[in-house]
Amino acid sequence: MRMRTFIAGQEAADEMEFVELALGIDVDLFRGPLERETVEERHARWDVAREVLRDLRESADAGDEVAGWDALYADALTRTVPFIRSSRDQRTGTGAAA
């Protein structure tokens, strides 16, 4: 038997969807997907992320504390690189130690 998890009436299919529903933040939008994306996809994602972050900050300035925390979290995600992606991008024999 599988336990089902609901947030605001929506069922979360997996852990990432649970986080997205609970926090209202799409992690991949700000952090980037785990798989490769084209330059066009990246720029489109960045444009949307900037707009969402701006909206969150405006809501926070208007007194929405949750939006303020979401803005901080989303902003921090923009400075991360998933370990899986970063390790996959490493090339053998490059860098200072090579």
Residue pair 57/6 in contact (Cβ under 8 Å)? The answer is no
pLDDT in tens, 14-29: 777 766 766 677 888 8
The Cα 64–Cα 68 span in angstroms is: 6
**Does a structural domain hold residue 75?**
yes
Structural domains counted in the chain: 2
Judged by DSSP in three states, 92 sits in: coil
- Given its phi and psi angles, is residue 3 left (phi above 0), alpha (psi -120 to 50 degrees) or beta? beta
Residues constituting the chain: 98
Residue 85 belongs to some domain of the structure: no
Residue 86 lies in a domain: no
User: Which letter does DSSP use for residue 94 in this model?
Assistant: -
**Model pLDDT for residues 22-79, shown as the tens digit of each residue:** 667 788 888 888 888 899 999 999 999 999 999 999 999 999 998 999 999 899 988 8
